[in-house]
Amino acid sequence: RAAAAEALAAVAGIPVVAVDTPSGVDVDTGELAGPHVCADVTVTFGTHKVAHLVDPAAMHSGVVHLVDIGLKLPEPALEALQPSDVAALLPRPDRQAHKYTRGVVGVRAGSTTYPGAALLSVAGAACGFAGMVRFVGDAEVRDQVRAAYPEVVGEGRVQAWVVGSGSDATAEEALGVALDDDVPLVVDAAALEFADRVTGRPAVLTPHAGELATMLGAERADVEARPLHHLRTAVDLFRTTVLLKGRHSLIGEPGRPVRVTTTGVPWLATAGAGDVLGGLIGALLAAGLSPYDAASVGSWLHGAAATLASQDGPIVASDVARALPGVVATLPA
C-alpha cells in the first residue's frame, strides 16, 4: 500500500527484518506485483512458504530463519530436499554390484563446433553413480572424450540417455535415435527444440528461462517473473519431468509437488555447468532413480558441489564435476 511504501522509502539503506514474509510479495507464487520489502532476514513460522523458496520473491527474503511452533501442516505444494532426503534417495551399490547392475548411461552430446559440451556432459555422467558411460558422437569429439576419460566406451545398450548439449545441427537425429531405445532420457539445449517428441515419456527436460520461453511461446522476462507458473504450464504441456534451471531451480512432474533446489552459489553461473548437470542426472537415471528423483537429487548435488568447489571464489564447470564425490561423502549415512 502507498503508506507502507512511503514508510519503507524513509528507511532506505537500513537493514530490514521481515516477520513471516516480506510485505508486498505474493506468498503463494513467489511473484512480485509492485512495491515490496527487500528483507535482509526473514523469520517465519511453522514451515517455509513458496515466497521464501521461489524467485523472484525468494531473492528479497534474505536469510530465512524457520521457527517451529508445532503447527499441524497440510501436504505441501512445494518441497525443498534436505541432505537427509538426498542421502535416502541416493543410489548406492550393494556388495553384489557390478558395472552393469549399477546402470549404463549413454551420452549423445557435443559436436565439432562445441566439443567442450561433450566433455562436460561426460564429466557429469562419469561422476561414479552409474557403472559405465557410453559416448556416441563425431569421431573427432569421440577421440577427445576418450583421451580425457579412458573409462568411457562406445555405442551399446544403455539404461538412460543424455542428449542435446552442444549437439548443434545433429540434435534432432540424436534425440530420435535415443528415443528408439525406449529408456529414460535427459533432453537439454538444442534437443529441447524437439521436446514435443518426448511428450508423455519418462524424461527430464532441462531448459533455462530462455529455452522454456521458446518452448512455450512466451517471453523470457515473463518466465523469469513467474517461473513457478511457467514450470507448471510446461509440465501440463509435455506430461513429463521438467527442470527449470535458475538461481533456485524448479522441478515439476505431473501429479507431484514441485521441488525447489536451494543449494548453489552465484559462481555456478558459468558456461558448461548445465552440461555437467545433464550428465549427472543421466547417471542417476541409469542407476535406477525415477526422472523426478533424478532431476531433484541431481540438481541438489550440482548446487552443493558448486558450493564445495567454490569456497567463496570463482569456479568453472569442470570444478563442479570433480567436487561431486566430496559432496556425497558429507551426506548422512
pLDDT of residue 75: 92
- Which domains, and CATH codes, for the chain? 2-74 (no CATH), 83-330 (3.40.1190.20)
Q: Mean pLDDT of all residues in the chain?
A: 96
Tell me: the pLDDT tens digits for 20-69?
A: 999 999 999 999 988 999 999 999 999 999 999 999 999 999 999 999 99
The three cell numbers of residue 161 are: 540417455
The pTM (predicted TM-score) of the whole model is 0.96
pLDDT of residue 104: 98
- Supply the DSSP symbol for 267: G
pLDDT of residue 33: 87
Does residue 284 contact residue 269 with C-beta atoms inside 8 Å? Answer: no
Question: Is residue 260 helix, strand or coil?
Answer: strand
Asked if pLDDT for residue 168 goes beyond 90, the answer is: no
pLDDT of residue 284: 98
Tell me: the pLDDT tens digits for 274-288?
A: 999 999 999 999 999
Could you give the CA distance from residue 170 to residue 212 in angstroms, rounded to a whole number? 20
Beta strands in 36-88, from DSSP E residues, in sequence order = 41-45, 63-67, 78-79
Give the helix/strand (H/E) hosting 238. helix 227-238
User: Band of the pLDDT at 333, cuts 50, 70, 90?
Assistant: confident
241-244 and 250-252: which strand pairing?
A: antiparallel
Asked if pLDDT for residue 99 goes beyond 90, the answer is: yes
pLDDT, mean of residues 262-291: 97
